Structure 1
Amino acid sequence: MKVASLGADTVRPFPIPFFLALESGQRFCLYHPAASTRSSSDCVLHIHAFAEEMNKCRRSAALLARKLANEGIAVLQIDLLGCGDSSGEFADADWTIWQQDLLAAMQYLRQRHEGKLHLWADRLGTLLAAELITTHNAQIDQILLSQPVFDGDQYIHQLQRSLVARAMLNPQGSDAALVTKLHTEIAGYELSDALIHAIRNLSISNNALAARQIHWIEIVKQLPATLPPARQKVFDQWREIGNPIQLHCVQGEPFWQTPEVCTSETWLAACAAVFTDQA
């Protein structure tokens, strides 16, 4: 693993872009050094959302990363293989390689921070975070799960269903070639069969995650709020198997799926509070 010599190990009050050189290519990273030494030993690895949701979440993720850095907590954002400005196309994306990307990112942080390492995962990143902990025995202090996806098969089905609905509104919606393509393309992103298969086979509702605390951030239209039955079931299951889960419902817009890019101040505040021990 090689890091471009861009002063990425120097504490500075602004984000530092660099490329992490791995065997499978370059990964674009954005390192947000802590603005003060008060909690500079703590660091957070961000695991981004999937496909178009990643783009919708990008502004919110950038704002939260900067907010945490200003609070004295360093953050590393990494574009996984085939995503953002990293090597490859989305069709090259591979679940196993994504895990290796995250392990390399963790190594980068551990080389620079002696204190606590936290995870922050958006949407489908929840499944990546869970596997990172359960399969690779990653030692994590706190985990922040933002609007988490718990079932890969259900998630892919929902994305494909939305694409089918759009295709039906298209004059070519009945074209056999288009219908066939729905199995390998979601919202303009071409997926390999291997990646689809890997995601479909992931579900973490019964997983015990080794962490001091798991924080679940759920954005709702209004407060007070109750979880939908399926998500309440996951919450109850996690409690039963001993996961130290804490639910935070915040009022705001579902920025990961809105037509226009938007942000939520309540979401930012709730997420920041998790890592500043104010949650």
Structure 2
Amino acid sequence: MIPHPDVFFLPAPGGEQRLCLFHAPRGTPRGRVLYLHPFAEEMNKSRRMAALACRALAEAGHAVLQLDLRGCGDSSADFGDASWADWQADVRLGLAELEARAPGDAPLWLWGLRAGCLLAAADWGRPVNHLFWQPMASGKLALQQFLRLKLAAEMAGGAGKGLMEAMKAELAAGRHVEVAGYRVGAGLAAGLEGARLAPSGTPGRVEWLEVSTREDATLTPASEQAAQAWQDAGWSLRSRIVAGPSFWASAEIELAPALIAATVEALS
């Protein structure tokens, strides 16, 4: 049996803290994995799936670190105070902590879910592999989808005309907007909007996993194009679609066991 994860607060700049969970394998790690959670409420919907996958990976011999980004979960600051640059700094902080807790030459993996994949896709100054769960190819589209949550709510009440343009104007002016209970700042919105799932850094491996309830599901054209760009840049990429629900967006907490099994297999 793998023991319960080590839960701790990692010191961050400005006297802040980041909540972390470290899942240690028995023996020498065969891989080192940093999990980057999705955006806003999708993070909460995905917590159970992430916890089960972390445990499964640890049982398979991987050292896994979960980190709540600035303004998220139980980490310091308010969501509205966080910026994309803050979250990039948190990735560097998490990688350094993972390397300190699991030293050696086992491969480093950045495991992103949805918008977490956009955050992972950067040059981190060291060779890393990527595990993508249901990746979003465009940060601009991700931001639009998020803003539409408020648009849908307002339209249900008979309003909403011109709301999307008004929210974008507020963000462009450096002000906050509130969507589905989340106060979003201009620095976070601009960073997300400019993010793309594009290859960067030293080429390594990419394991691209998606879920679908359709037996004949294939990658969308946008995903196919993004995946091809990684391959063209020299990355070894494998994609696979397994059976499962959209657990990050479901009304109730749902699980996708086939995705966890495919993840362990992909990293093994």
TM-score, normalization: structure 2?
0.88
1:123 matched to which residue of 2? 114
Provide the rounded CA distance (Å) in 2 between the counterparts of 1:196 and 1:271: 30
Deviations 1:87-136 (A, max 9, x none): 011001111121111111111111122132211111111111112xx2x3
SS at 1:14 equivalent: coil
Deviations 1:138-175 (A, max 9, x none): 321x310000012111111122223312211125x359
1:137 matched to which residue of 2? 125
Provide the rounded CA distance (Å) in 1 between the counterparts of 2:74 and 2:117: 22
Deviations 1:15-65 (A, max 9, x none): 11100011131100011111x21x425321111111011111111000000
Task: Report the residue type matching 1:150 in the other structure.
Answer: A
* Structure 1 contact 45–75 (Cα < 8 Å) conserved: yes
1:57 matched to which residue of 2? 46
Q: 1:130 to 1:23 in 2, by over 3 A?
A: same
Provide the rounded CA distance (Å) in 1 between the counterparts of 2:74 and 2:141: 28
Gaps of at least 5 residues in structure 1 are: 1-11
SS at 1:111 equivalent: helix
Provide the rounded CA distance (Å) in 1 between the counterparts of 2:65 and 2:160: 44
Q: 1:208 to 1:97 in 2, by over 3 A?
A: closer
Compute the displacement of 1:230 (Å): 2.0
Task: Report the residue type matching 1:144 in the other structure.
Answer: L
Q: Is 1:158 matched with 2:145? A: yes
2:204 matched to which residue of 1? 212
Provide the rounded CA distance (Å) in 2 between the counterparts of 1:45 and 1:156: 24
* Structure 2 contact 151–160 (Cα < 8 Å) conserved: no
Of 64, 68, 74, the match for 1:79: 68
Provide the rounded CA distance (Å) in 1 between the counterparts of 2:220 and 2:242: 15
Provide the rounded CA distance (Å) in 2 between the counterparts of 1:159 and 1:243: 30
Paired residue total: 257
* Structure 2 contact 127–204 (Cα < 8 Å) conserved: no
Structure in which a larger fraction of residues adopt helix? 2
2:230 matched to which residue of 1? 238
Q: 1:166 to 1:179 in 2, by over 3 A?
A: farther
Q: Is 1:27 matched with 2:18? A: yes
Compute the displacement of 1:178 (Å): 10
Q: Is 1:15 matched with 2:2? A: no
Q: Is 1:258 matched with 2:250? A: yes
2:101 matched to which residue of 1? 112
Compute the displacement of 1:201 (Å): 1.3
SS at 1:232 equivalent: helix
* Structure 1 contact 60–263 (Cα < 8 Å) conserved: yes
Provide the rounded CA distance (Å) in 2 between the counterparts of 1:218 and 1:254: 9
Of 197, 202, 206, the match for 2:195: 202
Provide the rounded CA distance (Å) in 1 between the counterparts of 2:10 and 2:200: 31
Provide the rounded CA distance (Å) in 2 between the counterparts of 1:175 and 1:147: 31
TM superposition outliers: structure 1 runs of 4+ over 6 Å: 175-179
Compute the displacement of 1:195 (Å): 1.1
* Structure 2 contact 119–195 (Cα < 8 Å) conserved: no
Percent of pairs identical after alignment?
34
2:174 matched to which residue of 1? none
TM-score, normalization: structure 1?
0.85
